Every structure is written in C-alpha cells, then in structure tokens.
Amino acid sequence: MKYSQIKEGVEYGDLKSLITTNISVAEFEPKTGTDDDVVVLGFYADDEAPANDLASFIEKSSVSVLDTEVSPAADEDGYYMVFVELDNEDLMKKVFALIEDVSRLVEVETWNLKFFNGTEKEITIDKISEWLKKT
C-alpha cells in the first residue's frame, strides 16, 4: 500500500496575496485584559480560510500571544480580521517579531501600520529585522 504525505500547516509564501499589507494597532478592544495591559493587532485576510491559517500560524509562533481570533464575518470591505492580543510588556519587540514571522508566509516587504489615533506608518521588513537584531 502506498502512503502519501499529509501536509499540515502553512509554508513560506502560502498566503501570498491573501493577506493585505495593512495591520491595525490598538484600534480594537482586547478580550483578555484592559487597554492598559493588552494591545490588539489586526491582520486583514481576503477570505476566511487564509484568516484561519494565519491565526493558527500565529498561535504556534515563537512570539508569545495571549489570544488569536478570526472575525465571524467579513467587514464592510470584504476582509476577515485576524485579531491578535499581545501583552504590553516589550510590545514593539513582540509586534515586530510577529510581523517578521508573518512576512515569510505572505511575502510582504512593506507593511502599513494603522494606529488607534488614526495615524499610519509604513515600515519595511528590512527595517524590522535590523531593529530586532539590535534588541
């Protein structure tokens, strides 16, 4: 009897063009704590399946996350949200490490961070990697 390999999880580039370059930072209320203790990141996915794949990947990542959840339905723009709750301690290190990990799946070089106060900031994966090496 011949057996076939079962593929579990996602690999480099599997979510290319399925996750947008936008990341929401602290625009949503956390479920696992207060705004002072927990920050919610939001990734935008084109469909529910890639959103679930991304959430599963993030849960298994080396970055310590408190919770991940996929929105039950698409937003008004048609995107499913992947909400990631992070403890505020060493927040930027965790955020950048998580973005660096996710970049391998989606093959994104420049991310657009949209903050709770309406400001936006573009950052490249090269800058993120450079900053992480210094910390």
Whether residue 116 is contained in a domain is answered as yes
Range of the domain at 39: 19-134
pLDDT tens per residue, range 78-127:
999 999 999 999 999 999 999 999 998 898 999 999 999 999 999 999 99
Nearest-5° Cα angle at 8, 7 to 9: 125
Whether residue 31 is contained in a domain is answered as yes
For residues 2-28, average pLDDT:
75
Whether residue 12 is contained in a domain is answered as no
Whether residue 1 is contained in a domain is answered as no
Q: Which residues contact 133 (CB under 8 A, 6 or more apart)?
A: none
Whether residue 5 is contained in a domain is answered as no
pTM of the model: 0.87
CB 82 within 8 A of CB 51: yes
Whether residue 127 is contained in a domain is answered as yes
Q: Say what the pLDDT of residue 59 is.
A: 94
pLDDT band of residue 134 (cuts 50, 70, 90) is: confident
Q: Say what the pLDDT of residue 1 is.
A: 47
At 112, which CATH number? 3.30.70
Nearest-5° Cα angle at 7, 6 to 11: 165
Sign of the C-alpha dihedral computed for residues 101, 102, 105 and 110 taken in this order: negative
Whether residue 4 is contained in a domain is answered as no
Whether residue 38 is contained in a domain is answered as yes
Q: Say what the pLDDT of residue 5 is.
A: 43
Bridge partners (DSSP) listed for residue 44: 81
pLDDT tens per residue, range 46-78:
999 999 999 999 999 999 999 999 999 999 999
* Number of other residues whose CB lies within 10 A of the CB of residue 2: 3
The count of domains in the chain is: 1
